[in-house]
């Protein structure tokens, strides 16, 4: 994949943060793309985090990600960045001995939490809007490899949602799986689970 | 939580970003002489170059788990042998959610059999189970017999269970930490509460909720006092629609020193003023008698757009609380309109029928 193809998706603009410059970590994908990512975002990737914690490797050398493509990584970075932003909307928890006055302030926190939740829902709804099945699968593989629990949870949830309450055939089609039961096995299963067959909507 | 390891496919080919979703599925236009089944197969292979069986097993497990127990039994495990094998793993059955069974009572489905089957599959590793409507004493006993490690139990509107059944069950659940009985015909006598307290010394969360407040002027502290006497380790107590008075509340506060959350919605015989009010204010998560229950599962109207997740144990299905907030989906070979209309049907289907 040529670098030129991914103009827009490189989510890298290094923002001018007030005070110290944001430390960045360089990542190199399977298809040779280089990404410079703010440290905070890169540390969301469990794999990257352990790489830099265990090794006294200098952060200037690009870390290779042989299992992730440029397009997937760029989406992942977008997600993690936004996710961090949303999380920072919630102030840290108040202390244990809250008096009544602080309890009221706690309500402000509750509001912030609600707002953050709403933001997250809207963001997540948008995030997968134009992704094909293949793209989502790639994202899942990337999130799994990079060990990003939140993203992986979200993706798995979304996929499950999609096949919720659908028929077996639908699920097969969706995942591109061919049923590998023989007709006899299939009949046997139907019988075995006769009590579980009703109630699925038509495709 | 699970640690996701990338096991199976260490070096997938670099993907082409195909715009295959725009292709029109025209299986019948090609070789019309071949059987209809075959043409369909050909089309599928062309459209989807790699199939999802490539996914690492634990990721597939994670996806399937979110379908919920009933769905797994009904659909997921019939898809192919790999999925069936995954669906038989005891790890998939540590948290069982038997919900939405109501809808299938009319058909040939047998919800009780499903529950039994689900419990069987857990092979004694059951940690949490949530059953709506269909539980009876026999099922409770069945669960207890095989799942002494149970930590969390929720029984929602299970009108066939009795106090005796519940007592018999908790006798075998020494590790129980959370007990949620929401909407029930149980009388929950002092004897029952005492049994729970005695047999479940680790109980940290107790929920005993009523759907509506039927007799506003009747006062009764029996339950509250029993809870105070028998459940000193409680961190979370939810007593929506309870008839306790300030005396009962006082007893609870006196005897449950570790309370972190207290839900007293619709407890209209309680007045939180003065000293009592001050003591309650110190509880981290306090919900007052007149607080709204609109976001709660007890008083659900027909719309499914409440965020139930605050009131449900966290281990309940994520998919459930997403409900109709997710009005998109990522594109595939089906047109957006088809998706959208199916989508709405699905979520109406899952909404609770109150």
End-to-end CA distance of chain A: 37
Q: Within 13 Å of residue A13, how many CA atoms lie on the same side as its CB? A: 6
Confidence of residue B328 (pLDDT cuts 50, 70, 90): very low
Q: What is the pLDDT of residue A23?
A: 81
Q: Which of A16-20, B158-162, B213-217, B307-311 has the lowest mean pLDDT?
A: B307-311
Cα separation of B25 and B334, whole Å? 9
Q: Which residue has the higher pLDDT, A149 or B29?
A: A149
Quick check: A140 and B59 CB within 8 A? yes
Query: Is A116 an 8 Å CB contact of chain B?
Result: no
Q: Within 13 Å of residue A177, how many CA atoms lie on the same side as its CB? A: 24
Listed in sequence order, the DSSP H helices in chain A are 39-42, 46-54, 70-87, 100-127, 133-146, 149-163, 168-175, 183-192
Q: How far is B64 from chain A (nearest CA, A)?
A: 7
Number of residues that make up chain B: 354
Cα separation of A61 and A26, whole Å? 7
- How far is C-alpha A200 from the geometric centre of its chain's CA atoms? 29
Quick one: which of B177, B190, B257 has its CA closest to B230?
B190
A 59-98 → B contacts, CB under 8 A:
66-67, 69, 71, 96-98
Please name the member of A157, A167, A199 whose beta carbon is closest to the beta carbon of B322: A157
Q: How many CB atoms lie within 10 A of CB A197?
A: 18
| Chain B residue closest in CA terms to A97 | B282
A-chain residues near B11 (CB < 8 A)? 66-67
Beta bridge mates, B205: B178, B236
Six-digit token pair at B161?
């269970």
Query: Is A111 an 8 Å CB contact of chain B?
Result: no
Query: Is A149 an 8 Å CB contact of chain B?
Result: yes
Rounded mean pLDDT, B164-177: 96
Cα separation of B25 and A27, whole Å? 39
The dihedral of CA B5, B10, B16, B20: what is its sign? negative
Q: What is the pLDDT of residue A9?
A: 52
Long-range contacts of B23-30 (CB under 8 A, 24+ apart): B23/B47, B23/B333, B25/B333
Please name the member of A71, A100, A176 whose beta carbon is closest to the beta carbon of B44: A176
pLDDT digits (tens, 9 = 90+) for B203-212: 999 999 887 6
Query: Is B295 an 8 Å CB contact of chain A?
Result: no
Cα separation of A128 and A125, whole Å? 6
pLDDT digits (tens, 9 = 90+) for A105-124: 555 677 788 888 888 888 88
Q: Which residue has the higher pLDDT, B323 or B77?
A: B77
A-B interface: how many C-beta pairs under 8 angstroms?
Answer: 198
User: Do B203 and B228 contact (CB within 8 A), yes or no?
Assistant: no
Tell me: pLDDT of B242 over 70: yes
Quick check: B4 and A195 CB within 8 A? no
Confidence of residue B307 (pLDDT cuts 50, 70, 90): very low
Average of per-residue pLDDT values in chain B: 73
Cα separation of B303 and B324, whole Å? 9
- Interface confidence, given as ipTM, is 0.74
| Chain A residue closest in CA terms to B6 | A145
Q: What is the pLDDT of residue B213?
A: 56
Query: Is A140 an 8 Å CB contact of chain B?
Result: yes
Select from B75, B118, B262 the residue whose CB has the most chain A CBs within 10 Å, as the one to mutate to test that interface: B75
Beta strands B236-238 and B261-263, pairing class: parallel
Please spell the DSSP secondary structure of B200-268, one letter per residue.
Answer: -TT--EEEEE-SS---TT----HHHHHHHHH-TT-SEEE-TT----HHHHHHHHHH-TT--EEE-TT-T
Beta strands A34-38 and A24-29, pairing class: antiparallel
Query: Is A165 an 8 Å CB contact of chain B?
Result: yes
pLDDT digits (tens, 9 = 90+) for A170-201: 888 888 888 888 888 878 777 776 665 544 44
Q: Within 13 Å of residue B114, how many CA atoms lie on the same side as its CB? A: 30
Beta bridge mates, B208: B181
CA dihedral B248, B251, B255, B261 (to 10 degrees): 40
Q: What is the pLDDT of residue B168?
A: 96
Tell me: pLDDT of A57 over 70: no
| Chain A residue closest in CA terms to B346 | A165
Confidence of residue A66 (pLDDT cuts 50, 70, 90): confident
| Chain A residue closest in CA terms to B62 | A156
Quick check: A199 and B107 CB within 8 A? yes
Cα separation of B2 and A51, whole Å? 19
């Amino acid at each position: 994949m040529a670098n030129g193809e991914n103009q827009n998706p490189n989510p890298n603009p290094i923002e001018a943060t007030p005070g110290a410059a944001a430390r960045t970590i360089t990542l190199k994908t399977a298809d040779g793309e280089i990404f410079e990512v703010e440290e905070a975002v890169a540390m969301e990737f469990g794999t990257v985090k352990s790489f830099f914690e265990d090794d006294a490797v200098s952060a200037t050398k690009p870390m290779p990600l042989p299992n992730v493509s440029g397009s997937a990584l760029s989406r992942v970075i977008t997600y993690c960045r936004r996710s961090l932003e949303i999380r920072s909307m919630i102030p840290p928890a108040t202390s244990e001995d809250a008096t009544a006055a602080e309890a009221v302030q706690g309500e402000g926190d509750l509001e912030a939490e609600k707002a953050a939740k709403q933001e997250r829902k809207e963001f997540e709804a948008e995030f997968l809007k134009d992704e094909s099945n293949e793209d989502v699968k790639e994202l899942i593989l990337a999130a799994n490899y990079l060990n990003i629990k939140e993203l992986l949870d979200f993706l798995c949830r979304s996929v499950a949602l999609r096949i919720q309450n659908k028929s077996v055939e639908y699920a097969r089609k969706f995942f591109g799986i061919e049923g590998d039961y023989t007709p006899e096995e299939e009949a046997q299963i139907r019988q075995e689970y006769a009590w579980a067959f009703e109630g699925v909507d038509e495709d | 939580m699970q640690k996701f390891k990338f096991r199976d496919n260490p070096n997938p080919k670099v993907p082409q970003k195909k715009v295959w979703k725009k292709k029109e599925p025209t299986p019948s236009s090609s070789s019309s002489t071949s059987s209809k089944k075959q043409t369909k197969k050909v089309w599928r292979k062309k459209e989807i170059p790699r199939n999802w069986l490539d996914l690492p097993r634990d990721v597939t497990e994670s996806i399937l788990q979110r379908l919920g127990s009933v769905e797994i039994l009904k659909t997921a495990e019939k898809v192919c042998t790999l999925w069936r094998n995954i669906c038989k793993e005891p790890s998939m059955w540590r948290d069982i959610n038997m919900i939405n069974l109501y809808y299938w009572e009319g058909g040939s489905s047998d919800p009780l059999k499903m529950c039994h089957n689900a419990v069987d599959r857990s092979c004694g590793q059951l940690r949490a189970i949530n059953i709506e409507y269909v539980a009876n004493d026999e099922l409770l006993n069945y669960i207890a017999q095989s799942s002494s490690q149970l930590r969390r139990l929720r029984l929602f509107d299970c009108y066939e269970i009795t106090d005796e059944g519940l007592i018999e069950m908790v006798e075998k659940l020494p590790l129980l930490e959370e007990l949620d009985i929401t909407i029930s015909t149980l009388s929950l006598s002092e004897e029952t509460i005492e049994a729970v307290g005695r047999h479940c010394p680790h109980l940290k969360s107790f929920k005993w909720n009523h759907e509506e407040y039927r007799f506003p002027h009747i006062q009764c502290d029996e339950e509250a006092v029993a809870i105070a006497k028998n459940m000193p380790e409680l961190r979370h107590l939810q007593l929506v629609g309870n008839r306790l008075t300030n005396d009962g509340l006082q007893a609870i506060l006196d005897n449950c020193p570790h309370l972190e959350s207290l839900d007293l919605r619709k407890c209209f015989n309680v007045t939180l003023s003065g000293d009592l009010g001050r003591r309650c204010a110190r509880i981290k998560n306090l919900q007052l008698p007149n607080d709204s229950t609109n976001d709660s599962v007890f008083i659900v109207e027909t719309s499914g757009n409440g965020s139930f997740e605050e009131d449900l144990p966290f281990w309940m299905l994520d998919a459930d609380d997403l409900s109709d907030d997710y009005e998109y989906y990522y594109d595939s070979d089906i047109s957006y309109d088809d998706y959208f209309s199916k989508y709405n049907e699905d979520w109406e289907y899952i909404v609770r029928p109150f």
